[in-house]
Amino acid sequence: MSDTGVTLKKNEDFSEWYTEVVLKSEMAEYAPIKGCMILREQSYAIWEKIQEVFNRKIKETGHKNVYFPIFIPESFLKKEAEHFEGFVPEVAWVTEGGNTKLEEKLAIRPTSETIIYATFAKWIRSWRDLPIKINQWCNIIRWETKATKPFLRTREFLWQEGHTAHVTSEEAEKEVMDILGEYKDVMENYLAIPVLVGVKTDKEKFAGALYTTTLEAMMPDGKALQMGTSHNLGQNFARVFDINFIGEDEKEHKVWQTSWGISTRLIGALVMVHGDDRGLVMPPRVAPVQVVIVPITYKVADSAAILAKAKEILDKLKVKHITTVLDNRTEYTPGWKFNEWELKGVPVRIEIGPRDLKQDQVTLARRDTYQKTTAKMDEAVQATEKLLEEIQKNLYAKAKTALDEKTTTVQNYDDFQKTLKNKGGFIKAAWCGNSKCEEKIKEETGASIRLKPFEKEKNTANCVCCGKKDGEIVYFAKSY
Ligand code: 86X
């Protein structure tokens, strides 16, 4: 068992548990390149689900998918020195092709603003060319020097980056919020992970943006995880890349822009939030396999009849578009199969044994609570559908309770430090708005301001750091 099953406890050794689950569930494995991972079938299928859901959403709202080159000439990045400078140590370069040194070195994209916006400048002439709303699914390279962690921090990862250009500031503003709303829907209603939404502080925002909106989730170890961002770029890039258009007024204007992204990081959050001591727990709406049928035919006389029933249910579930696997391998015992499918997080297991056959029923086992129930054969599909919905709801509700439990309001710096040390999580506290206080707190406690909530709290309080009156309530946390 120790070879294949999870040996560490989520509550005791969270970080090691996480790695063990990721590896043993065959989500990912380390690649023979430092800081890189192999995404195996198990995790790539989840990525495809996320793509499916998000593609549908953005296409419905008039976005189109495109693909830009992986290489970005150095001169492009230098044009935007303001946001590029801080990132220089993270850029990987190509300097040679074959045996020839390149005249200009090429960055392997760390993000694609510069190459995409240089192209926008060519595409856009008049207001009739707007808006442009494009998205690309691609890989990204950032030469991380900090310790890497599967899905959360690797030198290469997959993401989508959306880039839009608009006639008016209002349109860009609406786009930023629309996308944020779609992200929230993906995270909460598909991944079953509740998120806080709000705006980053000036210190934490993307340097190229007017403002950065963010979605933040809470992990079981008390650290926050940024799940996605949506930026209002204003006319910052339009100025640098000369993205101008002739308006209906026949005058020249600069476009208003947005950019936004989510990445394979979300898969890491999924493992952390829902996983347990037996392994992964997949929310039904993104589970690569939603139902596994295990016929209990091992050394059983009725095995042919049991298998026939299993196939009957398999076909019925397929008709309902429920992704189902019939595990009729004969070389493993039912118990061994249970463990394996639990490790992989399959939400519902249907067992059919001799007793079930006799009583014209099936046994349903749910992955989230381990509860077992039975259903009559002709109600099995309906019962399964209902159970999948319940599991989806329950996983979200559990995660929401955990988030609420890990959110603490404090009035003074002493409580701030104690809470952070003993409990972690989000700390709601008043902040005067001065980045000096923000930096001091980060230095002394390791916690940063994760976001300023959109829904401003009516209450104000004294800044938790300097004591100044009428501070704004913000969320602090240590983070990944
Ligand atoms: C910021 C901004 C933005 C589109 C997103 O957050 C979503 C999708 N892009 C990304 N960012 C950088 O601009 C950046 C630039 C360089 Cl050169 C780098 F090496 C690392 C970077 N990391 C983040």
Same domain, 28 and 65: yes
Q: Give the CATH number of the domain where residue 195 resides.
A: 3.30.930.10
Ligand 1 center from residue 137 Cα (angstroms): 15
What's residue 409's pLDDT? 96
- Taking the C-alpha atoms of residue 138 and residue 167, their distance in angstroms, rounded to an integer, is 27
User: What span, in angstroms and rounded, lies between the C-alpha atoms of 12 and 274?
Assistant: 16
CB of 279 shorter than 6 A to ligand 1 = no
pLDDT band at 2 (very low <50, low <70, confident <90, very high): low
Please write down the HEC assignment for all residues of 180-209.
Answer: HHHHHHHHHHHCCCCCEEEECCCCCCCCCC
Predicted structure pTM score: 0.96
The CA 312 to ligand 1 mean position distance, Å, reads 51
Confidence class for position 1, pLDDT limits 50, 70, 90: very low
Percent of the chain at pLDDT exceeding 70: 99
Does residue 3 form part of some domain? no
The region that residue 60 occupies, defined by phi over 0 for left and psi between -120 and 50 for alpha, beta otherwise, is alpha
Q: What is the pLDDT of residues 79-109, one digit of tens each?
A: 887 777 788 899 999 999 999 999 999 999 9
- For residues 44 and 92, membership in a common domain is answered with yes
Mean pLDDT of the chain: 96
Is the pLDDT at 288 greater than 70? The verdict is: yes
- Residue numbers of the domain that contains 383: 291-387
Place of tokens 């009035």: 411
**What per-residue confidence (pLDDT) applies to 161?**
98
Q: Are residues 301 and 329 in the same domain?
A: yes
Does residue 366 sit in the same domain as residue 312?
Answer: yes
- 338 shares a domain with 212: no
Give the sign of the dihedral formed by CA 23, CA 406, CA 159, CA 51.
Answer: positive
In this structure, the answer to whether residues 256 and 313 fall within a common structural domain is no
| pLDDT given at position 298 | 67
Q: Distance, CA 462 to ligand 1 centroid (Å)?
A: 34
- Within this chain, do residues 370 and 298 fall inside the same structural domain, yes or no? yes
Owner of token pair 């129930």? 373
**Candidates 85, 111, 183: which one to mutate for ligand 1, based on the most atoms within 8 Å of Cβ?**
111
Query: Which pLDDT tens digit goes with each residue over 201-245?
Result: 999 999 999 999 999 999 999 999 999 999 999 999 999 999 999
338-362 pLDDT, tens digit each? 999 999 999 999 999 999 999 999 9
Could you tell me the distance, in angstroms and rounded to a whole number, from the CA of residue 111 to the centre of ligand 1? 5
Q: Ligand 1: distance of its center to the CA of 3 in Å?
A: 40
Q: At what angle do helices 169-185 and 41-60 cross, to 10 degrees?
A: 140
What distance in Å separates the CA atoms of residue 463 and residue 269, rounded to the nearest whole number? Answer: 32
**Closest residue by CA, ligand 1 atom 10:** 111
Give the separation between CA 199 and CA 403, rounded to whole angstroms: 19
Please tell me whether residues 54 and 146 are part of one structural domain. Answer: yes
What is the CATH number for 361?
A: 3.40.50.800
Using the 3D structure, point to which of 246, 274, 302 is the last residue of a domain. Answer: 274
Residue 401 lies in a domain: no
> Does residue 1 sit within a domain?
no
CATH of the domain at 463: 3.30.110.30
pLDDT at 386 exceeding the cut of 60: yes
Domain tally for the chain?
3
Same domain, 184 and 42: yes
Q: What is the position in ligand 1's atom list of the atom closest to the CA of 90? A: 19
Residues 170 and 209 in one domain: yes
- 448 and 329 co-located in one domain: no
Q: Based on the fold, state whether residues 175 and 318 are members of the same structural domain.
A: no
CA-wise closest residue to 52 among 33, 44, 446, 210: 44
Q: What percent of the chain has pLDDT over 90?
A: 94
Q: Is 228 a pocket residue for ligand 1 (Cβ < 6 Å)? A: no
Gap between the Cα atoms of 71 and 118, Å rounded = 14
